[in-house]
């Protein structure tokens, strides 16, 4: 079976058929319509429905498909979808998911709904989920799944081979994990390779063929996990508590997914969207979240405007300056944002540390001087030619050159300083940069103009 690219790029228009299947409550039609779609497409179709429609679809299709679609959604949206469902159905879907995904979803649900589902679950599974919720999202504890493929140090090669050969459903859940060997205190003391298993006798003890495993503490950060998976070909790493007990396994896939989500949420924050917004969310919530960020910005904007206000006399005398004020602040804002972008990327690649601020500044200022002079010359000439006044060209060009150097310096360094102060560089770099470049840009133009007043009028 080969995936046909046409089919994925240009999906059949299913919406109408889907709506009538929802209305008639036709479970088989729903399953047949959604199954051939990509998970993203199926999710998109469902998110376009109202709450009742979403519940109908997710209740009637197979629990397996429903689980896959819900897993495809961002957690917050996935939790919302779960909450539209009857408890028993939500439980059925939950059972199809790994414990780390269960914990993500349940952690984002209303307390009452979450408890109702946990009550349905096997006591041990529910305890696992409650335990996983307590860990920070981007640590080994928050990313691990509780299902582990373990054997005791008294077991033999034969026991592992029997387990692998059995059609026990659980083996599916450990997919890709190597078998870990635990001592009597539940501490992982060994890991066994497939080659080891195939080249030993069935009666051999696991302790004879195992090697010491690399483990991580529950507190290990996403970057630490990334580095371990970069350095080693493992598909999973065992996670231990302070007492050395094995509590779960972080899979390579969970780490990749978390890195991708971090990168996407950084992009959103740099654009001024904090939180997990999708357009399928309620309007008032989207509106409120965006306003929260914008309101903080108002204060900064008023600060910048007060610089112009202080030079009203200069402006009245040479009104042409008003034309170039936004241009100078916008252009240097753009230059500064480029430096922010490079710093954010180097931070996420681990190529700079917060304490490298001085070195980064040195690197940026050289670019700033070159680009400042180039842009200042260009815009200076534009101003001169446009208004026929060389002094105006000098004022605008010089102001832009100076402000570009400043903007690039600040843009490169601000993310590192924010990180050092324990702040989120993605959310705060932009507004900080814009305010400073606006204020400084207005100041450079207007104070230079005041100095050059005799030649300007």
CB 101, CB 75: distance < 8 Å: no
What minimum distance in Å lies between the beta carbon of 407 and a copy of itself?
11
What minimum distance in Å lies between the beta carbon of 110 and a copy of itself?
24
For the chain, what is the radius of gyration of the CA atoms?
Answer: 29
What minimum distance in Å lies between the beta carbon of 273 and a copy of itself?
4
Question: What's the rounded Cα separation, in Å, for the pair 113 and 79?
Answer: 10
- Report the DSSP beta bridge partners of residue 180: 150, 191
Locate 157 and state its tokens: 């090669």
- Residue 169 binds to a copy of itself (criterion: CB under 8 A): no
Locate 377 and state its tokens: 């010359």
What minimum distance in Å lies between the beta carbon of 280 and a copy of itself?
8
Please, which of residues 275-334 interact with a copy of itself by CB under 8 A? 277-280, 283-284, 286-287, 290-291, 293-295, 297-298, 301-302, 304-305, 308-309, 312, 315-316, 319-320, 322-327, 329-331, 334
- Report the DSSP beta bridge partners of residue 150: 180
- Residue 199 binds to a copy of itself (criterion: CB under 8 A): yes
* Nearest CB to a copy of itself, comparing residues 132 and 222: 222
- Report the DSSP beta bridge partners of residue 249: 145, 238
What minimum distance in Å lies between the beta carbon of 1 and a copy of itself?
6
- Report the DSSP beta bridge partners of residue 236: 251
Please, which of residues 127-166 interact with a copy of itself by CB under 8 A? 161, 164-165
What minimum distance in Å lies between the beta carbon of 90 and a copy of itself?
21
The b/e string for 341-370 (b: 16+ C-beta within 10 A; e otherwise) is ebbbebbbeeebebebbeebbebbbebbee
- Residue 63 binds to a copy of itself (criterion: CB under 8 A): no
Please, which of residues 220-239 interact with a copy of itself by CB under 8 A? 220-221, 223-224, 227-228, 230-231, 233, 235
CB 121, CB 129: distance < 8 Å: yes
* Nearest CB to a copy of itself, comparing residues 120 and 257: 257
Crossing angle of helices 63-72 and 27-34, rounded to 10°: 40
Question: What's the rounded Cα separation, in Å, for the pair 377 and 399?
Answer: 11
What minimum distance in Å lies between the beta carbon of 418 and a copy of itself?
15
CB 215, CB 234: distance < 8 Å: no
Question: What's the rounded Cα separation, in Å, for the pair 295 and 356?
Answer: 32
Q: What are phi and psi of 377, to 5 degrees?
A: -60, -50
CB 178, CB 236: distance < 8 Å: yes
* Nearest CB to a copy of itself, comparing residues 109 and 379: 379
What minimum distance in Å lies between the beta carbon of 25 and a copy of itself?
26
Residue from the set 127, 214, 358, 451 that interacts with a copy of itself by CB under 8 A: 214
Segment contacting a copy of itself by CB under 8 A, of 26-34, 148-156, 261-269, 417-425: 261-269
Residue from the set 95, 96, 138, 346 that interacts with a copy of itself by CB under 8 A: 346
Question: What's the rounded Cα separation, in Å, for the pair 18 and 141?
Answer: 40
What minimum distance in Å lies between the beta carbon of 68 and a copy of itself?
6
Residue from the set 56, 99, 177, 335 that interacts with a copy of itself by CB under 8 A: 335
Count of beta carbons in the 10 Å neighbourhood of residue 99: 19
* Nearest CB to a copy of itself, comparing residues 127 and 194: 194
Please, which of residues 356-415 interact with a copy of itself by CB under 8 A? 359-360, 363-364, 366-367, 370-371, 374-375, 378-379, 382, 386
- Report the DSSP beta bridge partners of residue 152: 182
* Nearest CB to a copy of itself, comparing residues 133 and 235: 235
Please, which of residues 90-119 interact with a copy of itself by CB under 8 A? none
CB 114, CB 223: distance < 8 Å: no
What minimum distance in Å lies between the beta carbon of 119 and a copy of itself?
29
* Nearest CB to a copy of itself, comparing residues 87 and 369: 369
Count of beta carbons in the 10 Å neighbourhood of residue 215: 19
* Nearest CB to a copy of itself, comparing residues 118 and 392: 392
Please, which of residues 11-50 interact with a copy of itself by CB under 8 A? 38-41, 43-44, 47-48
Residue with tokens 């090697």: 211
């Amino acid at each position: 079976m080969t995936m046909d690219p046409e089919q994925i790029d240009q999906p059949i228009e299913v919406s109408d058929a889907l709506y009538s299947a929802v209305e008639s409550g036709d479970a088989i039609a729903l399953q047949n319509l959604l199954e051939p779609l990509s998970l993203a497409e199926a999710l998109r179709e469902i998110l376009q429905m109202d709450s009742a429609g979403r519940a109908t679809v997710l209740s009637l299709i197979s629990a397996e498909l429903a689980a896959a679609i819900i897993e495809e959604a961002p957690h917050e949206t996935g939790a919302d979808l779960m909450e539209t469902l009857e408890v028993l159905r939500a439980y059925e879907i939950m059972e199809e998911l790994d414990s780390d995904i269960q914990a993500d979803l349940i952690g984002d649900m209303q307390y009452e709904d979450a408890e109702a589902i946990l009550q349905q679950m096997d006591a041990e599974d529910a305890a696992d989920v409650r335990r996983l919720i307590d860990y920070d999202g981007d640590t080994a504890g928050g990313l691990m799944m509780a299902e582990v493929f373990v054997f005791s140090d008294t077991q033999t090669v034969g026991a592992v081979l029997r387990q692998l050969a059995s059609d026990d459903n659980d083996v599916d859940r450990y997919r890709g994990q190597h078998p870990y060997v635990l001592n009597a205190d539940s501490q992982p003391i060994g890991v066994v390779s497939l080659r080891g298993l195939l080249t030993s006798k069935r009666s051999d003890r696991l302790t004879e063929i195992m090697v010491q495993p690399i483990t991580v503490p529950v507190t290990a950060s996403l970057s630490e996990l990334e580095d371990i998976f970069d350095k080693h070909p493992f598909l999973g790493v065992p996670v231990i508590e302070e007492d050395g007990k094995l509590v779960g396994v972080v899979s390579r896939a969970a780490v990749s997914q978390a890195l991708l989500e971090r990168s996407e949420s950084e992009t959103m924050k740099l654009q001024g969207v904090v939180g997990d917004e999708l357009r399928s969310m309620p309007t008032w919530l989207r509106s409120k979240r965006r306003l929260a960020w914008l309101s903080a910005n108002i204060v900064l904007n008023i600060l910048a405007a007060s610089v112009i206000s202080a030079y009203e006399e200069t402006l009245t005398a040479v009104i042409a300056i008003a034309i170039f004020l936004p241009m100078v602040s916008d252009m240097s804002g753009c230059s500064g944002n480029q430096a922010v972008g490079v710093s954010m990327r180097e931070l996420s690649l681990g190529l700079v540390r917060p304490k490298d601020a001085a070195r980064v500044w040195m690197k940026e200022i050289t670019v700033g001087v070159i680009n400042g002079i180039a842009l200042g010359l260009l815009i200076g000439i534009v101003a001169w030619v446009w208004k026929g006044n060389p002094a105006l060209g000098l004022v605008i060009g010089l102001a832009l050159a100076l402000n570009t150097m400043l903007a690039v310096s600040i843009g490169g360094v601000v993310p590192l300083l924010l990180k050092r102060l324990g702040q989120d560089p993605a959310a705060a770099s932009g507004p900080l940069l814009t305010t400073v470049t606006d204020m400084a840009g207005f100041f450079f133009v207007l104070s230079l103009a005041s100095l050059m007043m005799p030649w300007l009028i």
